[in-house]
Amino acid sequence: MSELIQLPSYKEQSPEVSARFEALHKRPVKLKVEGLSKTFHTSKGSVNVLKSIDLNVYRREFVSVIGPSGCGKSTLIRMLAGLETLSGGRFLLNDKEVSGPSADRGMVFQGYTLFPWLSVKKNVMFGLEVNGRSGTAVEQEALQWIELVGLARFADAYPSQLSGGMKQRVAIARALATQPEVLFMDEPFGALDPHTRSQMQAYLLQIWKNVDVTIMFVTHDLDEAIYLSDRILVLKANPGEIHEFIEVPVPRPRTPEQFLSPEFLSVKQHLEELIHPVSSNDDEPTDLPIVRMTSASDNVE
C-alpha cells in the first residue's frame, strides 16, 4: 500500500504542529533522565536490560514508549516510578533527584490492581487518606475524580462487579486523585477488547486535557501510540537503548478519523520499519510449509 501512495516524510510538520512543539519545548522539564541503566542479576547470570537512557519530558507532555517485547519498556517506567532500583544514572523530577516510590509519580498497571475489598469510592480515596487526609472533603474529592472518569453511578460498587474498561478507569481516577506530577501507564489497555480500547483512548485524551498531568504511556500498539502522544520513544532490544524519539506530526485535537491521514500513516510506516526491520524477517519464514490435511475438494481461497 505504501508503495502506491506517496506518503510525506514523518518529519514534515505543518506550521501549527511545529509551533506546538516549539511551545512544548519551552515548558519546564518535568522529568529529566540521565544515563539510566539497568542490569538484572539472576541465577543464570546478569542481563543488561537498559543502557544509558537519556531523555527529557516536558510539563503536560504525552510521551509513549514502544519497542519490541522484552526491550525493557516496563523496566524503564518501573524504575522511574521508584518500583525498581537503578543500576546506573539518575533521574530528576522538577530538577530534584528522587528515589523510591511516592505519590508524586502515579502508576496505572495493565492488571488494574484495584483493591478488591474497597468500593470504587474507597479505592479512589485510598491515596488521599494514605497521605494523611481525612474527612468529608476527601470523599467529595474522590467523587469528583470518579465523575471525571464517568463512573459516578458505580461509586459504591466493588471492583469485581465492574468490566475491564471500568476497572481501568477507576485505576486512572485513583492514580490521578493524589495529583501526581507524572502518570506512568504500563500497557493499561492491553487486556481490553478493541472497541473498549478505542473508547478508553478517547477517555484518556479527554482526561489528560482536563488535568494538569504529564503522561508516560507504554504500549505495543502503534496506532495507540500515534493517536495519543506528542512524542514517541522507540526503544530497541538487547541492550535496551533509545532508537529514536519521534515527534508525532498529527495535529491536535486528535480524532479517530486521523487514523487514515497521511501524517498518521507516515509515522506508522516509520515505526513499523524501526520495530520490525526487514532484515530480521530473514530467519523467520513468512510462508508456513503447509501440507494439505483435508480431503476437501473445493478451495477456500
Partner 1 sequence: MKSEEIAAKTSSPWFAIRKDLDSKQRLILSCFSFLLPILIWVIVSYTPFIWHPDVKLQLSADRTDVTTIYSAGDRLSKEFYPSFVEAIQSDNAEILAAREQGEVDGSASRIRRANLKVMRHITPVVTANGWLTRDEVKDESLYGVWQKLAEGSLEQKRVQLSAENMEIIKRNWALMSERSEVFDSKLLPETPLEKLVPQGKPSNPSYLPSPHEVVVKGIQDFTAEADGNNPSLFQRYRHSLRIVFLGFLFAALVGVPLGVICGTFDFFSKLFEPFIDFFRYMPAPAFSTLLVAVFLANDAPKIALVFVGTFFQLVLVVANTTRQLDASLLEAAQTLGANKSTQIRRVILPGILPDLFNDLRILLGWAWTWLVIAELIGVKSGLTEFMDTQGRFRNFDSVFPVIILIGVSGFVTDQILSSLRKYLFPWTPESSSKKHGFIGRFIYWLLDRKVYDSPLNGKV
Residues in contact with ligand ADP by the rule CB under 6 A = 40, 42, 47, 49, 67, 69-75
Does 40 bind partner 1 (CB under 8 A)? Our answer is: no
Pick one of partner 1, ligand ADP, Mg ion, none as the site partner of residue 72 (Cβ within 5 to 8 A by kind).
ligand ADP
Per CB under 5 A, the segment of 9-17, 39-47, 66-74, 168-176 that binds Mg ion is: 66-74
Residues 32 and 58: their CA atoms lie apart, in Å, by 9
CB of 15 to partner 1, least distance (A): 39
Q: Say which residues have a Cβ less than 8 Å from residue 192's Cβ, sequence separation at least 6.
A: 164, 165, 168, 200
- Mark residues 97-116: x for contact with partner 1 by CB under 8 A, - for none: ----xxx-xxx-x-x-x-xx
Pick one of partner 1, ligand ADP, Mg ion, none as the site partner of residue 161 (Cβ within 5 to 8 A by kind).
partner 1
CB of 96 to partner 1, least distance (A): 17
Report yes or no: 220 and 113 within 8 Å, Cβ to Cβ: no
The DSSP string of 17-36 is HHHHHHHHHHSPEEEEEEEE
Selected from 2, 14, 70, 117, the binder of partner 1 by CB under 8 A is 117
Pick one of ligand ADP, Mg ion, partner 1, none as the site partner of residue 40 (Cβ within 5 to 8 A by kind).
ligand ADP
Report yes or no: 41 and 209 within 8 Å, Cβ to Cβ: no
Closest to 121 measured CA to CA, from 147, 98, 87, 84: 147
CB of 138 to partner 1, least distance (A): 13
Per CB under 5 A, the segment of 70-78, 137-145, 252-260, 273-281 that binds Mg ion is: 70-78
- 71 or 222: CB nearest ligand ADP: 71
Q: For residues 155-174, which are near partner 1 according to CB under 8 A?
A: 158-161, 171, 174
Residues 195 and 295: their CA atoms lie apart, in Å, by 38
Neighbours of 298 (CB within 10 A): 4
Q: Residue 39 has which C-alpha cell? A: 542490569
Report yes or no: 268 and 223 within 8 Å, Cβ to Cβ: yes
Q: ∠258-108-220 over CA atoms, to 5°? A: 45
Per CB under 5 A, the segment of 13-21, 73-81, 90-98, 131-139 that binds Mg ion is: 73-81
- 75 or 178: CB nearest ligand ADP: 75
- 139 or 223: CB nearest partner 1: 139
Does 74 bind Mg ion (CB under 5 A)? Our answer is: yes
Pick one of Mg ion, partner 1, ligand ADP, none as the site partner of residue 35 (Cβ within 5 to 8 A by kind).
none
Element (H, E) at 197: helix 194-210
Q: Residue 101 has which C-alpha cell? A: 516510590
Q: Say which residues have a Cβ less than 8 Å from residue 217's Cβ, sequence separation at least 6.
A: 62, 63, 64, 65, 185, 188, 225, 228, 229
Q: ∠128-129-134 over CA atoms, to 5°? A: 105
Interacting residues toward partner 1 by CB under 8 A: 81-83, 101-103, 105-107, 109, 111, 113, 115-118, 126-127, 130-131, 158-161, 171, 174-175, 178, 184
